[in-house]
Structure 1
Amino acid sequence: MLYHAILSTGHSSHAAGADKRDLSFDFAKGILIILVIVGHLLQYVIYRGNGYWDSPYFKSIYMFHMPLFMAISGYLSSRALLRKSFARSVNERATQLLLPTLFWWALLEAAKAAVVLPSSSIVGGDFLNDLVGSYWFIWATFASFLVVKVLLTIFRRLAMWIVCMSAIAVAVLPVTVSIAPSIRYTYPFFCLGFLLSQSTECRTRILPRNKSLLMFFLAAMACTCFLAWSKETYVYNNLALIHDTASAEQVLLMFAGSAAASWIAFEIIVQLWKLSSSNRVARFVAVELGQSTLLLYLLQGTVFRLMDFVQFGELWDLSTRLSVAGMLGVSIVVIAMTVRFLVRDLGWLSRIVAGTSPRSEAVKAQSATN
């Protein structure tokens, strides 16, 4: 999945402290967070019902955006997983991911209590579902990081093989409570990204030499899986649970289709960055959006969770829905960029709201590295 970046860039976790940041990964993250927002706009505004399951646009996004996001996370987490102590790495990751999640969850509950619930006559609220379900990808990322770190700490020399086996074991684990299916779906991609970040020898074992033939095969597989993809192929519906032949086919289709589509999507994104890296729009996507994906994800998760409690647009025509979706998507980006600008120099507030170190600390760290 990260074949091209591994062979042609220096932004592995081992080079995370290099003088120059590789923006190709940030560009990929920026594109993916845009697709996350677009996918939710399709679901909550444009279709506003169950029709999105059959949408070719929804399908093409959901086949790869979260698996690829998780693979990139695993790839870029390698340094923390391998070079830092268990306590330090887990503490830093929890501070980075969970503190902002708790902040935006508290904001969500406050908004529900003040505006949404009184106006819609909804009494009470499922706080735990809001906290876990609205921001499931954050919890999946943290859980994946924690499991891999535990395996690396315990097994040491055999850790890489154990991580490979754990990816399979977690994928087939028959647990369906809460967001467990989503974690089981994305964890193998985190492991794959982590494994691909390792030594050249390790990558040579995993990746085939004939790239052109591989890309043709993956493109054919992605197209075939796209045509066969149905409502029951989504992890939200099949729960990544195998209980008969039909469910086994759907789960296998889901993983195979996601892997192939993710690889093809990343190759396209990297080529797009090569062609447009000097373009202002591309650099905005990489530098502003790609380096603010946590903030953007939490903000859009809060917004779309609130929309679950609001009835609107039932009689709108398609053009109106598209217009509203466009304005809402742009508003989310603008608000996120404004929040980032306001808190970036405010110490712990920057960590709590956006999950990033204050700009002054980042400059000091860069100076120390240089």
Structure 2
Amino acid sequence: MPGARTPEANDRDLGLDFAKGVLITLVIVGHLIQYVVYRDEGFWESPCFKWIYMFHMPLFMAISGYLSWRALLRKSFTQAIGDRAMQLLLPMLFWYALLETAKLAAFSSSASEPGSVLQCLNDSAGTYWFIWAAFVSFLLVKILSIFNRRSPWILFVSVILVALAPVTFSISPLIRYTFPFFCLGVSFAQSREWWTSITRSHKPLLITFLSIAALVCFLAWRKDTYIYNNLALVHDMQSAKNVLLMLLGSAAASAIVIVLVLQCWKVGRSNRVTRFITVELGQSTLLLYLIQSTVFRLMDSIQYGELWDLTTRLAVAGILGGAIVAVALMVRWIVRDIPYLSQLVLGAPPRSACLKYQPADN
């Protein structure tokens, strides 16, 4: 692939890039199912939507935790948090500003007075919740690493404390849901040899058990199992079952999917489609997430598709999904070599700087 950086060009794990490319594709597909294929509550019962939402964000968060470990370990507190804010929050604010500008231009006649800073933060959190969740998770683990860098127990205790926090403001339930997976990724990065030695000798049995567990959870998964509906709150036996099913199902499905995806990478790494998913999509996940979140939040503000039949909706979903990917790749190609603009739009320094100075974490 012309212009693509290969495994020899830096220390990236392209298997994880391929996994991220698959996951961001599923994020877009999941939103297309919700916003285009279904225009009512029916998407909760969609088998495809259910399958995607069992694992895509938990696994994304686990990979984020795994890849964040070097920054957590090697960088000072202020440098680590500053770098992560520049990587995640700065481009998020840029795309949020574009979203608000588009809404103002499209609906200027009915636009209300500008909201407060708190309202803007709440709106941006709702639109780009995963960015905030990843940043907060990184911040919490970095604070914990100040006291003890390598003890797995401190991560376990932090997961329990976060899970028990009875907070439902804004995206706090989503953080409680994804934080354990971030910590699991950090733990795997900390003790990769230990985890590998445990799983290697019992791998077939473990995969069989996890596959059965994931299938059972899939069959039992209902509308109230989604984090968006149960808010990870336990107030009676039924809510406890829903939260437990959600966490166990997400963990089992994430484990099976990452094994399958990495195996697909090993088998098909020379395939052009695999390379495209790896280099173009997997290394543009932040940009793709920001653009698709902006597009779908804008779609919340307009009326469309009430009279479309299923064929039309599927066609529109395919066109819109392709357009999101095309726009993201075009934006990346335009700004990736421009100082300051690359950091602002993509959350990364220009390619020349990346090639000269290898990043501490990918």
TM over 0.5: yes
Give the letter for the 2:144 counterpart. L
Q: Which segment is superposed worse, 189-198 or 164-173?
A: 164-173
Alignment partner, residue 176 of structure 1: 168
Equivalent pair of 1:116/1:306 in contact (CA under 8 Å): no
Alignment partner, residue 139 of structure 1: 132
Q: CA deviation at 1:20?
A: 4.2
- Specify whether residues 228 and 291 from structure 1 end up closer, same or farther in structure 2 by C-alpha distance, changes over 3 A only: same
- Specify whether residues 218 and 367 from structure 1 end up closer, same or farther in structure 2 by C-alpha distance, changes over 3 A only: closer
Q: Percent identity?
A: 62
Alignment partner, residue 7 of structure 1: none
Alignment partner, residue 244 of structure 1: 236
Q: Whole-Å Cα distance in 2 between the matches of residues 107 and 85 of structure 1?
A: 33
- State the SS of the aligned residue for 2:201: coil
Could you report, residue by residue, the CA deviation over 1:122-163 in whole angstroms, capped at 9, with x for unpaired residues? 535653332110000000000000000000102346x43111
1:30 aligns with 2:21: yes
Gaps of 5+ in 2: 1-6
Q: Out of 263, 268, 282, which is 2:274 matched to?
A: 282
Q: CA deviation at 1:172?
A: 2.6
Alignment partner, residue 196 of structure 1: 188
Equivalent pair of 1:208/1:214 in contact (CA under 8 Å): no
Could you report, residue by residue, the CA deviation over 1:302-337 in whole angstroms, capped at 9, with x for unpaired residues? 000000011100110000000000000000000000
Equivalent pair of 2:32/2:317 in contact (CA under 8 Å): yes
Q: Whole-Å Cα distance in 2 between the matches of residues 265 and 73 of structure 1?
A: 16
Alignment partner, residue 179 of structure 2: 187
Equivalent pair of 2:19/2:282 in contact (CA under 8 Å): yes
Equivalent pair of 1:350/1:357 in contact (CA under 8 Å): yes
- Specify whether residues 152 and 114 from structure 1 end up closer, same or farther in structure 2 by C-alpha distance, changes over 3 A only: same
The aligned length equals 350
Q: Whole-Å Cα distance in 2 between the matches of residues 223 and 238 of structure 1?
A: 21
- Specify whether residues 162 and 232 from structure 1 end up closer, same or farther in structure 2 by C-alpha distance, changes over 3 A only: same
Q: Out of 66, 71, 81, which is 2:72 matched to?
A: 81
Give the letter for the 1:188 counterpart. P
Alignment partner, residue 262 of structure 1: 254
Give the letter for the 2:125 counterpart. V
Equivalent pair of 1:347/1:358 in contact (CA under 8 Å): yes
- Specify whether residues 206 and 147 from structure 1 end up closer, same or farther in structure 2 by C-alpha distance, changes over 3 A only: farther
Alignment partner, residue 6 of structure 1: none
1:234 aligns with 2:223: no
Alignment partner, residue 3 of structure 2: none
1:222 aligns with 2:222: no
Could you report, residue by residue, the CA deviation over 1:40-66 in whole angstroms, capped at 9, with x for unpaired residues? 000000001110001101000000000
Give the letter for the 1:252 counterpart. L
Q: Whole-Å Cα distance in 1 between the matches of residues 52 and 329 of structure 2?
A: 24
1:128 aligns with 2:121: yes
1:315 aligns with 2:278: no
TM-score, normalised to structure 2's length? 0.92
Give the letter for the 2:59 counterpart. L
Aligned-residue RMSD, C-alpha = 2.0
Q: Whole-Å Cα distance in 2 between the matches of residues 200 and 127 of structure 1?
A: 40
- State the SS of the aligned residue for 2:284: helix
Equivalent pair of 2:199/2:206 in contact (CA under 8 Å): no
TM-score, normalised to structure 1's length? 0.91
- State the SS of the aligned residue for 1:174: coil
Gaps of 5+ in 1: 1-15
Alignment partner, residue 4 of structure 2: none
Give the letter for the 1:344 counterpart. R
Q: Which segment is superposed worse, 289-298 or 168-177?
A: 168-177
Equivalent pair of 2:104/2:111 in contact (CA under 8 Å): no
Equivalent pair of 2:176/2:232 in contact (CA under 8 Å): yes
Alignment partner, residue 209 of structure 1: 201
Alignment partner, residue 9 of structure 1: none
Alignment partner, residue 331 of structure 1: 323
Q: Whole-Å Cα distance in 2 between the matches of residues 204 and 32 of structure 1?
A: 23
Equivalent pair of 1:74/1:193 in contact (CA under 8 Å): yes
1:347 aligns with 2:339: yes
